[in-house]
Amino acid sequence: MKKSSALLFIIFLLLQGCGNAKASSNANNNSKSTVSSNTTARQSMPNFTLEGLDGNQYAISQFRGRVLIVDFWATWCGPCKVEIPFLENLYSQYKDKGLTVIGVGLDNPVALQRFSDAMGMNYMVLKGTQAIAQQFQIRAIPTTYILDKKGRIAHKFVGFSPSMKQTFESLVQSLLKE
């Protein structure tokens, strides 16, 4: 029963992602992203703890003091496959300046490990759960949160396209200066 409900949830995400991919891929479509440049208006991201592919437990709160990208994705998601190499490059470029990237894989742990190995992912991958996807109201993937150094949500994006790369990098650079 658990496996069938998880499979239905993944199918739901796939259908939602397909329906939203075109609309959310336009970087100029502000209805699919939220931006808070007013640092006093930013809300804290709820803390959660998940198991990493390495078997250790990680809490989002342990990364305070760093700019954090939390990316909800799956191995079968087309836009995710475009976003992940970009996030790998962004992480490599800015990790020594205070950036951490965490991928929350909403997929079977075995598939996540195979995919991560095949892609040579250089950032942390956590095993997402149906509960965490529901908590963050993930309706389409990728859904990406960019947090400031205080753990507050500065930006949220639903979907990804190559035209968004400059926007992501500019946001990271700006947050690193805060």
DSSP assignments along 97-148, one per residue = GTEEEEEEE-S-HHHHHHHHHHHT--SEEEE--HHHHHHTT--SS-EEEEE-
**pLDDT score of 8 more than 60:** no
Instruction: Give pLDDT tens digits for 18-48.
Output: 433 333 333 333 334 444 445 558 899 999 9
Cα 94 off chain centre by: 17
What's the confidence (pLDDT) of residue 60? 94
Strands 49-51 and 153-158: unpaired
Answer positive or negative: Cα dihedral of 98, 102, 161, 91: positive
CA distance 36 to 2: 38
Strands 57-59 and 67-73: unpaired
What's the confidence (pLDDT) of residue 40? 59
**pLDDT score of 93 more than 60:** yes
Domain positions in the chain are 2-177
CB-based contact 43:153 (threshold 8 Å): yes
Q: Which CATH architecture has domain 2-177?
A: 3-Layer(aba) Sandwich (3.40)
The two structure tokens encoding residue 44: 């804290």
Q: What is the mean pLDDT of residues 82-105?
A: 97
What's the confidence (pLDDT) of residue 41? 80
Full-model pTM: 0.80
